[in-house]
Amino acid sequence: MIAWDDSILTGIAGVDADHKAILETINAFIGAVEAGAGAAQVHGAFRRMERCIYRHLEVEEHMLAALGYVGTADHKGAHESLLEELAGI
Ligand SMILES: [Fe+2]
């Protein structure tokens, strides 16, 4: 399991709530795997994690662009790498 770490708080309530929700879905997925849950349960946990991540990344990219954040392109690149990893899983 992955523990939440306040050092990654952004100070933006919606973003922090999303990040915590993502962590919860990741831990639920890990929990399902570690518990030896059936394929359907593991698959379901993975899909919930995946949807949570996809939704958040899309929202975050729009938010960063709307704010004119100078690191938007780099951050979007990091998201794309993450999505490739996720697709590989
Ligand atoms: Fe994020």
Average pLDDT, the chain: 96
Distance 35 CA to ligand 1 centre (A): 28
**According to the model, what pLDDT value does residue 71 have?**
95
Q: How far is the CA of 24 from the centre of ligand 1 (A)?
A: 14
Q: What is the pLDDT of residue 16?
A: 96
**Dist. CA 60 → ligand 1 center (Å):** 6
**Cα–ligand 1 centroid distance for 76 (angstroms):** 10
Domains detected in the chain = 6-88 (1.20.120.50)
Rounded to whole angstroms, the Cα distance separating 8 from 34 reads 26
Tell me how far the alpha carbon of residue 30 lies from the centroid of ligand 1, in angstroms: 20
Task: Report d(CA 82, CA 85) in Å as an integer.
Answer: 5
Task: Give per-residue pLDDT as tens, 7-40.
Answer: 999 999 999 999 999 999 999 999 999 999 999 9
Token representation of residue 76: 């979007």
- Overall pTM surpassing 0.85 (yes/no): yes
Euclidean distance between CA atoms 46 and 28, whole angstroms: 9
- In the block, residue with structure tokens 């993975």: 46
- Ligand 1 mean position, distance from CA 44 (Å): 22
Q: Inform me whether the pLDDT recorded for 89 exceeds 90.
A: no
* Contact call for residues 27 and 1 (beta carbons, < 8 A): yes
The two tokens of residue 74 are 């780099």
